[in-house]
Structure 1
Amino acid sequence: MTNTDDIAALKEEMAALRDEVGLLKDRNEICALQYKYGYYLDKCLYDEVADLFAEDGVATFLNGVYRGKESIRRLMCGWFRELFTGGHNGPVYGFFLDHLLLQDIITIAPDRQSAKGRFRCLMLAGTHESRPQVPGMPRACWEAGIYEHTYVRENGVWKIGVYDYSLLWQADYEKGWAVGGALLPPLTKTYPEDPNGPDELLPSTPPVWPETRVVPFHYPHPVTGAVWSGDPVGKRPENMGEK
């Protein structure tokens, strides 16, 4: 090889390494973004949570779709904040909402302007006996679900573009998850009829425990390359003999 060839090969290697480092940096920033979301949510810092979203972000929660950052503020700073802290932005005496995020899988788009992320959520919530319960909730409860988000780079900063939380199960702590079911009722009204309501209602609320389901994976199988396309809803007892 000539010196010119050597230089060209080094430049090519440097470019590849630069891209690899960039992807690693993006992944770390997105992972940190989602974890910071969890820490803010833990302490009922709903203004801070809303500021993590892109201007044209979309959030799906239960059977409601909130479109745009101002609509997402209705979800976070309206419904959630009023329900859990009586309108106060921040922690309140006698209420906790520990929000664990685990098993992160992040896939960066080739242009590095968007990404997909999957996280498992395990949540513990409780109201101390010295204060009134949160309406519609037991004093202590569990919740679990899957986040399948889209992230976008907006003005050079990674933000949440599409927020899609699939609630899988909730359970009263005293009774346990063997008898658990949904604690939160489905949404029935849109904004402005409901001041904190979504812009759109989905046709139905996705099933929760004791139903079991697969939240679709944004990524292909890492060995076969196949995209999973099975039945997302678990087989019911009356159909267990079917293949």
Structure 2
Amino acid sequence: MTSTLPETSGTPKTSGNPETSGYPETSGYPEASALAATVESLARRVDALESTLAIRNLQHAYGYYLDKTLYSEVVELFAEDCTVIFMNAVYRGKAGARRLYTGRFRSLFTDGRNGPMPGFLLDHPQMQDVVHIDDDGNHAHGRFRTLMQAGVHDSVEDPRKGRGRAKQWWEGGMYENEYVREDGVWKIRTLNYRPLWHGTFDDGWAHTPLDFVPSPNSLYPQDEFGADEILQDDTRELWPNTAVMDFHYPHPVTGEPWKSS
């Protein structure tokens, strides 16, 4: 029987594409070319699924570390060139992230220690997540909600010192974050957190004073824990302001983007 396959001599040719280098050249074999394209498409889809799971785990790990005021561990979740936006304050780079987490938060909530304080509650669950991987496969966006329960137990002496005005309170907030994969590891590139509302357990959120948690207003280096920039953005005001935080994704059915006017 005479072969109908193209003539070859010696070692089969390999693809010149760096991503598929080492695999036999399939241009002369239509069925093999189609199979290779299918494999490549499936590999991309599997990578996107694994990346989505890794980003969800990353963000949920952030919540667990924040729960227990493990601020040093929180900072290590960020890329070196990260940006953290907390309310209307912008902190740039890991140095800025350290000022916020291991500086301001640690001095405010844990008397300068890394780790939980006896009698102090700061549950910060991450939920209702929507994650999308960018076309390049190494950048992504995610939207997460938190419903925080916080407070200080009666057994703790001077419970209000350095830990806020209320003995126990709620906080509802939203994250719209960006992520980057560096050397195969997903990290937080931009953490954009906007508290939406607060409420004490005694009075509820309907009676919360408008300045219950004042917006940051100090800059670094005048304030050693200050921000690099303060945004003049009234959409970041707390409830009863109902401004919507922009969605990073288009409508899943119509494909139309939604941005606040």
How far apart, CA to CA, are the structure 1 residues paired with 2:223 and 2:233?
Answer: 18
Percent identity reads 47
Task: For residue 125 of structure 2, give the secondary structure of its aligned residue in structure 1.
Answer: strand
How far apart, CA to CA, are the structure 2 residues paired with 1:137 and 1:25?
Answer: 42
TM-score normalised by structure 1 residue count: 0.90
Whether 1:190 aligns to 2:211 is no
Q: CA deviation at 1:189?
A: 1.5
How far apart, CA to CA, are the structure 2 residues paired with 1:104 and 1:44?
Answer: 22
- Aligned-residue Cα RMSD (Å) equals 1.5
Unaligned runs of 5+ in 2: 6-28
Unaligned runs of 5+ in 1: 232-243
Q: Which residue of 2 aligns with 1:239?
A: none
Match of 1:79 among 97, 100, 104: 104
Bigger Rg, structure 1 or 2: 2
How far apart, CA to CA, are the structure 2 residues paired with 1:57 and 1:24?
Answer: 24
Q: Which residue of 1 aligns with 2:51?
A: 26
TM-score normalised by structure 2 residue count: 0.84
Per-residue CA deviations over 1:5-36 (Å, capped at 9, x if unaligned) read 22222111111111110000110000100000
How far apart, CA to CA, are the structure 1 residues paired with 2:259 and 2:89?
Answer: 25
How far apart, CA to CA, are the structure 2 residues paired with 1:198 and 1:46?
Answer: 17
Task: For residue 34 of structure 1, give the secondary structure of its aligned residue in structure 2.
Answer: helix
Q: 2:245 touches 2:260 (CA, 8 Å); kept in 1? A: no
Q: CA deviation at 1:161?
A: 0.4
Q: 1:221 touches 1:227 (CA, 8 Å); kept in 2? A: yes
How far apart, CA to CA, are the structure 2 residues paired with 1:188 and 1:37?
Answer: 25
Task: For residue 149 of structure 2, give the secondary structure of its aligned residue in structure 1.
Answer: strand
How far apart, CA to CA, are the structure 2 residues paired with 1:137 and 1:100?
Answer: 22
Amino acid at match of 2:258: W
How far apart, CA to CA, are the structure 1 residues paired with 2:232 and 2:39?
Answer: 51
Task: For residue 73 of structure 1, give the secondary structure of its aligned residue in structure 2.
Answer: helix
Number of aligned residue pairs = 230
Per-residue CA deviations over 1:138-185 (Å, capped at 9, x if unaligned) read 111000111000001122211100110011001111111121245221
Whether 1:158 aligns to 2:158 is no
Q: CA deviation at 1:204?
A: 4.1
Q: Which residue of 1 aligns with 2:83?
A: 58
How far apart, CA to CA, are the structure 1 residues paired with 2:217 and 2:82?
Answer: 22
Whether 1:227 aligns to 2:252 is no
